[in-house]
Structure 1
Amino acid sequence: MARFVRTFTKRLCIILNVVIAGLFLIACANAWLHPSKWWFFSLLGLGFPVLLILLFFFLVFWLILRSKWAILSAVILLIGFGNIRVFLGMHFASSAFTLQKDKDALRIMTWNVHWFDDHNKKIKEHKDYRKKMIAFIKEQNADVLCFQEFLELGKSFTTSNTNAITQLNYPYYYRVIDYGRTSGRFQAGVAIFSRFPIVDTQRVLYPDPANLRAAESLISADLLVNGKKIRIYTTHLQSVLFQKNDYRSIEIIKSADDSMVMASRSIIKKLRQGYAFRGFQADLVRNKLDSCPYPEIICGDFNDVPNSYTYFHIKGNRQDVFVRKGKGIGRSFTAVSPTLRIDYILADKKFEVLQYNRFLAPWSDHYPVIADLKLQDD
């Protein structure tokens, strides 16, 4: 009987190992498969961290038993190393981020400021975070600021976020209105603020998805930095538009509530739509980046994880500052899961990445990401 149990257990572990290995490879493959056609692979990509942990567990398990099945997990992990590399920052021994910049460093910060928390003012227990956010921005002493969900209130309001930022020694800026009107109660969109002169700007509007709010624009600003032109891009790709009831649906799924099936359908539908639209937006962004005549940096809220088509397609041969200098998982979105790194700074290889940091600032649903870069001599 004992022998039967051991044999059954071993075979079950082998089957589970093979299944996990197959799912892991599919999760890796979604980085190269357009989500408009292969949306299920994109959904599976969200489970990449769990699959990675399980695969590593099986590797250790078989090694302890001195079984040849350890080879399977080892080979699969090697095949998926490119995906593991962008998911897990491995610079654990690197020195801490310093506010003091190198002489020729260009410091850039990207942050989805979530309307400077203005949307929460109707909540009874709401605390005004705007002043703290402005103070934090000042403290970082960045040369270029890229914002998503940047809010500017109408003329009837006495406060101006644009003025508050420009007064921090950012005399040059390019801001577009993606939601609202020039003469309306509010304006919101993406924005670039700079301490270096802006000599040219561009804006690309994404096609509006049917029955869904579109993403914020792709904008760029050509900066004159120490006599050389560089181009800074920022964008905010399609959100899945989760509302409060959607987050409740996620909790229902986690707790295996009786209404789990209906909750799952709602979440999957929104994820599927978001993946498809971001795939087309990523195609457009990549075309713009590849045609850029200057060294370029793109940063912003991609609303997608590192092992996604969106990330890999936009990145191309560019440097991810987190991969170059970061450690751990680098979570940048505060809700849903601790594994969501969806805010990025990607730089042309003509830049040297000096340092990187992600600040756990509590005032938005996104964390700010900062990097020091240096344009290398030709």
Structure 2
Amino acid sequence: MKLRALFTISSRIARILLLVGTLLVSGAYLLGAYSGYIPPVRWIIPAFLGLFFPALLVAQIGVTIFWLLAWDKRRLLLVAAVWLISLPQLLVYFPISRAEKSLGTEEESLRILSYNVCAFGFKPHTKTSPNATLQYIKSSGADIVCIQEAMLNQNPWAGVVSKTLRSYLDEDYPYINVIRVNRGGSTLALLSKYPIKEAKEIPLPSWVNGAVAYKVDIRGKETLVINVHLESFRLRRVDGEDYLRLAKDGDAIRLKDALRAKLSPTFRSHNIQANIIHDLIQSHGSGRVIVCGDFNDTPLSYARYKIGEGLEDAFVSKGNGLGISFHTRPFFVRIDHILFGPAFRALRCEVDKTASESDHYPIEAVLTTSGVTDPN
């Protein structure tokens, strides 16, 4: 009798511990899924959970499989509720959609390309040895190209120079604007088939990154185009390897301290930068808005959520899968985004993984005004 009672007590304790573990995993998973709604300056833990959402997703799948094998209906109802609550955010992180076959007429469609070119691969451009990134942009057929890290070299043998950029692309893009933000920091460029009426740097607090707002006359209507390069985490491959090693060794304290020291300041910077860009978009008072660029943050982040408030995400609307745009091991994530206002709708959006000259893949969207009631 005593052994049976002891076994019963032990069984109850085990089930309680399993339930507590399930609640902790599911709670962290939901907090990561909805981390974009919580400003990092107020509470930074959700930002970390959002960044490591894939690991939380795997843990939640593990919990689900466990209760399926145990066939505990009450626990399965709890797990099912968690999946149902997280579904909208899962479709942001991993959208499933169908691109429209018809891209409309040239008068209605607008091809947008956003590309962090990593200084054009630090490779020169000559007639006999053309720069692959410049070739890609020229052949893209995009109407508007937002470029980040478009560093132009002074020496034509060390990289792309300004004169080469303009002479090679001006036939396709008669309107070119290049600005080095934050007094000599990152270079942002806009290549356009349509007149650029105005270009102003958005005053963002940053070490080297920034954003530029352009007023572009697209078929007689002014459109606000914002080229974004938010604060970088400055993560190197060796950083990722160190984090994996600490995790493998089970050194949770050192891993936590390393991540907090490296990531926390950037999360807070993104919070402030996103708020500034959001306010600018709201003050524009028009649905004719397009935001492109390297957000240096995930689809579930506060930065993407805040900047995209009132806008649509082209990849979420018409993309498929993870859409990984940053591909430096061990970091694989979608941090490049194209957002647009209610004056447009997306027909197609994809990340082109054939372009491998940079540590980013380009992201392209086809927008249209067809079938859209202009809110202006």
Q: TM-score range with shorter-chain normalisation?
A: 0.7 to 0.9
Kindly indicate whether residue 27 of structure 2 is the aligned counterpart of residue 34 of structure 1.
no
State the Cα deviation string for residues 93-150 of structure 1 (Å, max 9, x = none): x35999x8743210000011111121x99xxxxxxx9722122222221000001111
Residue 152 of structure 1 corresponds to 152
Deviates most, 313-322 or 336-345: 336-345
Give the one of 341, 345, 348 matched to 2:334: 341
SS of structure 1 residue aligned to 2:37: coil
Which secondary structure does the structure 2 equivalent of 1:89 belong to? coil
> C-alpha root-mean-square deviation of aligned residues, in Å?
3.0
Deviation at 1:337, TM superposition (A): 4.7
Q: Contact 2:120–2:134 (CA<8 Å) still a contact in 1?
A: no
Q: Does 1:71 align with 2:77?
A: yes
Q: Give 1:48's match in structure 2, choosing from 53, 65, 77.
A: 53
Counterpart of 1:276 in structure 2 is: 268
1:89–1:327 contact (8 Å) kept in structure 2: yes
Aligned with residue 322 of structure 2, among 326, 329, 334: 329
Q: Which residue of the partner structure matches residue 306 of structure 1? A: 299
* CA-CA distance at 1:241 after TM superposition: 1.5
Moved more, 300-309 or 238-247: 238-247
1:287 aligns to 2:240 (yes or no): no
Identify the match of residue 170 of structure 1 among 144, 153, 173.
173
Q: Which amino acid aligns with 2:218?
A: V
Q: Note the 1:90-105 alignment, pairs <5 A.
A: 90-91=96-97, 94=98, 102-103=105-106, 104-105=108-109
Matches within 5 A, 1:114-193: 114-118=118-122, 131-154=131-154, 159-160=160-161, 162-163=165-166, 166-167=169-170, 169-178=172-181, 188-193=186-191
Q: Distance in 1 between the 2:46 and 2:311 partners?
A: 24
Whose helix proportion is higher, 1 or 2? 2
In structure 1, what is the Cα distance between the partners aligned to 2:115 and 2:302?
22
Does the aligned pair in 1 maintain the 2:144–2:193 contact within 8 Å? yes
Deviation readout 1:20-51 (Å, 9 max, x if unpaired): 11112322343222112311221122222222
2:368 pairs with 1:374: yes
Change (3 A) 1:53 1:247: closer
Query: Tell me, which stretches of 5 or more residues in structure 2 are unaligned?
Result: none
Q: Distance in 1 between matches of 2:156 and 2:29?
A: 54
C-alpha separation in 1, matches of 2:243 and 2:329? 8
* Aligned residue in 1 for 2:195: 197
CA contact under 8 A between 2:212 and 2:227: conserved in structure 1?
yes
| 2-structure distance, mates of 1:107, 1:159 | 24
Unaligned runs of 5+ in 1: 122-128, 182-186
SS of residue in 2 equivalent to 1:249: helix
Farther-moved stretch of structure 1 (171-180 vs 232-241): 171-180
Count of residue pairs the alignment pairs up: 356
Deviation at 1:16, TM superposition (A): 2.1
Q: Give CA-to-partner distance per residue, 1:233-262, whole Å, 9 cap, x none.
A: 11100111124542342342244287x754
CA positional deviation for 1:288: 0.6
Tell me what 1:125 maps to.
none
- Tell me which residue corresponds to 1:354: 347
2:95 is equivalent to residue 89 of structure 1 = yes
For residues 168 and 368 of structure 2, what CA distance do their matches in structure 1 show? 24
TM-score (norm 1): 0.84
Alignment-mate amino acid for residue 275 of structure 1: F
Cα displacement (A) at 1:232: 0.9
TM-aligned CA distance change 1:8 to 1:335, over 3 Å:
farther
TM-score (norm 2): 0.84
**Identical amino acids, percent of aligned pairs:** 25
